[in-house]
Structure 1
Amino acid sequence: MKRKRSPDSTLIIVTFILLGIGLVMVFSSSYHQGLNRFNDSLHFIKLQLIYAGIGLIAMYITSNFNFWQWKRFIILFFFLNFILLGVVLIPGIGVEIYGARRWLNLGFMRFQPSDFTKFALILFAANYMSKKERLTKFFSGIIPLLAVVGLSLGLIMLQPDLGTTVAIGGTIGIMLFAAGAKMSHLLFLGSLSLPAVIYLIFSADYRLARIFSFLDPWADPTGSGWQIIQSLYGIAGGGLLGVGLGNSRQTTGFLPEPQNDFIFSIICEELGLLGALFVLLLFVILVWRGFNIAIKIEDTFGSFLAMGLTTMIALQVIINVGVVTSSMPTTGITLPLISYGGTSLIITLASIGIILNVSRYIN
């Protein structure tokens, strides 16, 4: 396949704008956290700049790496995915934070295997779905794919991490729908997965507490409802134009870890409704360009690969914003390109690089 054009310029511009906003907001939201915890107000932004640098290098490499060559790594990534998901569960090796063992300590950063799983499973599914005749059969077609996905999600739930499980499961489900899987098969699978999700929620006290705090956070305002209440205070306090960068009240000790999953609340507070809508508009443009590339590319594997990576980013945005605005129960999902975190940022930028490479081959 011969390269025919430059990568999608709109996607590049939107990615850099979102990354720039993310760096500014990480600094603004983590200033007090860094000062109080590490006696260094620049602690988090210095690390995030390193992660961004690594991520941009990864994006440059993947944007210039022929997308169909990724097929060569499917078996390697297949086994590496399960090795990493298994190793992170071992006490003493996996890093445990707030009762969840989701990270591996690499020294210069904490690596989260489930972020690698997102890419590995999308790559595996895109290659599998490119042979469309498989998807017309249930037991010999869809079930082998879901067995691989299900085993990976089971290991992620042992960490535990319901948010990532839902995001990956939703992405694969949307890919199956777009690939032409029979609706009867998808509805049957959906009817099976719903009881499983309900069981997972009710089988853990902390998940149940999150459901109750979602329904009425003021029932326990100093406990399970604290984080979402403080998030809503931040959103409401921003008004139309915001209180200005660095002037957030919630970052001074009210909203826990504001630079992470709840950074969108700080965006609303400091940049106001208009600033928050601008960020959401940028994500809409990014997702639109990603899906547009997936639709226009003639190569089936490239189409599913671009669509899967774009869908994963879109679902993470939807879940993160939904949690922060109390539109859905609390779960740990970062806001792509914005939230503090090394693995998430690097994998997201590398994924966008792959989408950019696919865009090079559109007629």
Structure 2
Amino acid sequence: MILDRNRIDLPLLITTLLLVGIGAVMIYSASFVIAEEKFQGDSSFFLKRHLVRIALGIGFLILFANLDYRKMRKWSLLMMAIGIISLIILYIPGLGLEIRGATRTLKLWVFNIQPAEGIKIVMVLFLAHWLDKSQHVIQKFIPGLLPGLIVIGTTCILIALQPDFGTAITLGLTSAAMLFIGRARLTHLAGVAMFLAPFVGVKIYLSPHSWKRVMAYFERFFGDPAEKLVNVQGADYQLQQSLIGLGTGGFFGTGLGQGKQKYLFLPDSYTDFVFSVIGEELGFIGALLVMGLFLVLAWRGIHIARHAPDAYGFFLSSGLTTMISLHVVLNIGVVTGLLPTTGLPMPFMSYGGSWLLFCMISIGILLNISRGASRQQRLQYD
């Protein structure tokens, strides 16, 4: 069988499909107004495109669930090199597509792709392989930690220059978590973080768009309330609309499809801020259900890591689980105003082909690792 329920982590698979299904429903609910306006009354325009991507994503999930994860490690260095090259190619005139002031999308023959989304998985694959091979020197800085830091730093810098600070920070945090799990010294990691902090701050300051977001974040807590009422279309406009939606939803929500913020008040209602629409239309109960599903997903990822058949599988499953969980935490933090706006999508639920595809690939890899653990347990039993 393609997916043997006795050999894969069934709770992880079911949870993923539930999140994808809820996401599809909410994308339609959040996008049909803007779709009708932009595409001559075709209210399901975004839904139809998203369903095609879901079908493609399920196909890749099945493929990677049946592809031995151990065979991927020999390609990790090559994939890392290709990923870095693709980030460099973005800066070649005519190949990189600029959207909202950021050059994140690579124009190919028949489709577009965001290399930064794919390199998240590639980085996890690379670090899992590298950590497995470097355990004997990982607690030493120059022969152990430094080579990995150079690769991580180069990748994060190329992404930050797009500029895409949200992805760069997520990639950096995921990498730091993997290094910590891989027994790198906390003093080394803290020292590197302290060294990089001023440079990150200067780069954000020199990027007008990012600096506006940071200042808007602090103005929420320390700004003049009267000025907020006057400057309603400021840098914090989208967050204000998100909070209005969440507040309107209350405990039980306004009802599926009955939300008002998607009526062009919340511009990214079906992408980065889809969780706000969930809170508005399904209420606190619906938002809690979605968060509960993500907690189940994280729990199963941790379970797979703990029972991985080898160190490479442990590092790989830990990294993938961390990456997805970080996206969830950061996205919800932004939507609820606890964090500055980052532009990070919600896993499985936000509209967007590249991110959905790579999330499904991540789950496929986790399912494959769980198959390896089940196989090893049966051999031990026999």
Q: After TM superposition, list the pairs within 5 Å mapping 1:223-262 onto structure 2.
A: 223-262=234-273
Letter in 2 for 1:18: L
Structure 2 SS opposite 1:360? helix
- The answer for unaligned runs of 5 or more in structure 1 is none
Q: How big is the shift at 1:106? A: 4.0
CA distance in 1, matches of 2:92, 2:252: 47
Which of 156, 178, 181 in structure 2 is aligned with 1:153?
A: 156
CA shift, 1:271, in A, is 0.5
1:11-160 → structure 2 map (5 Å cutoff)? 11-39=12-40, 40-106=42-108, 109-131=111-133, 132-160=135-163
Q: Deviations over 1:187-232 (max 9, x none)?
A: 1112123223222222222212112222235273212121110010
- Cα deviation, residue 89, structure 1: 2.2
Deviations 1:7-62 (A, max 9, x none): 10100110000000010011110101111112221111111111111110000000
Residue 202 of structure 1 is matched in structure 2 by 205
**Which has the larger displacement, 187-196 or 40-49?**
187-196
Matched to 2:345, the amino acid is T
Q: Percent identity?
A: 39
Is 1:169 aligned to 2:178, yes or no?
Answer: no
Aligned equivalents of 2:291 and 2:6: distance in 1?
Answer: 28
* 4+ residue runs over 6 A deviation: none
CA distance in 2, matches of 1:325, 1:100: 24
Q: Contact 1:241–1:271 (CA<8 Å) still a contact in 2?
A: yes
Q: 5 Å matches for 1:176-215? A: 176-215=179-218
Pairwise CA RMSD of aligned residues? 1.5
Q: Secondary structure at the match of 1:250?
A: coil
Q: How has the CA–CA distance of structure 1 residues 107 and 247 changed in structure 2, closer, same or farther, with 3 Å as cutoff? A: farther
8 Å CA contact 1:31, 1:42 repeated in 2: yes
Structure of larger gyration radius = 2
Q: Name the SS for the 1:133 alignment partner.
A: coil
**Deviation string for 1:255-308 (max 9, x for gaps)?**
012111011100000100000010001001101100111111130001100110
Alignment partners' CA distance in 2, 1:255 and 1:107: 32
Unaligned 5+ residue runs, structure 2? 221-227, 378-382
Count of matched residue pairs:
361
One-letter amino acid matched to 1:207: S
Structure 2 distance, partners of 1:235, 1:90, is: 42
Tell me the residue number matched to 2:223.
none
Q: Is the 8 A contact 1:110 1:342 kept in 2?
A: no
- Whole-angstrom CA distance in 2 between matches of 1:4 and 1:38: 42
Q: In structure 2, what residue type is equivalent to 1:337?
A: F
Question: SS of the residue aligned with 2:105?
Answer: strand
- Counterpart secondary structure, 1:143: helix
Where in structure 2 are the equivalents of 1:198-347 lying within 5 Å? 198-217=201-220, 218=228, 220-347=231-358
In the TM superposition, residue 75 of structure 1 has moved relative to its aligned partner by 2.8
Deviation at 1:84, TM superposition (A): 1.1
Measured after TM superposition, the shift of residue 122 of structure 1 is: 0.7
Write the distance in 2 (CA, Å) between the matches of 1:276 and 1:102: 30
* C-alpha separation in 1, matches of 2:109 and 2:217: 36
- Give the CA deviation at 1:74: 1.4
Structure 1 distance, partners of 2:108, 2:55, is 17
Residues 1:259 and 1:205: Cα distance change in structure 2 (over 3 Å): same
Give the whole-Å Cα distance in 2 for the aligned partners of 1:182 and 1:316.
Answer: 25
**DSSP-derived class of the 1:25 partner:** helix
SS of match in other structure, 2:363 = helix
Structure 1: distance between partners of 2:36 and 2:5: 50
Residue 208 of structure 2 aligns with an amino acid whose one-letter code is D
2:339 aligns to what SS in structure 1?
coil
- Larger mean Cα displacement after TM superposition, 342-351 or 291-300: 291-300
Q: In the alignment, is the contact (CA less than 8 A) between 1:88 and 1:102 conserved in 2?
A: yes
- SS of aligned partner of 2:137: helix
Tell me which amino acid in the other structure corresponds to 2:324: I
Distance, in Å, in 2 between the alignment partners of 1:286 and 1:49 is: 22
1:109/1:342 contact within 8 Å kept: no
Moved more, 73-82 or 149-158: 73-82
**Are 1:7 and 2:8 matched, yes or no?**
yes
Judge conservation of contact 1:27–1:42 (CA < 8 Å) in 2. Answer: yes
Amino acid aligned to 1:153: C
Shift of 1:4: 12
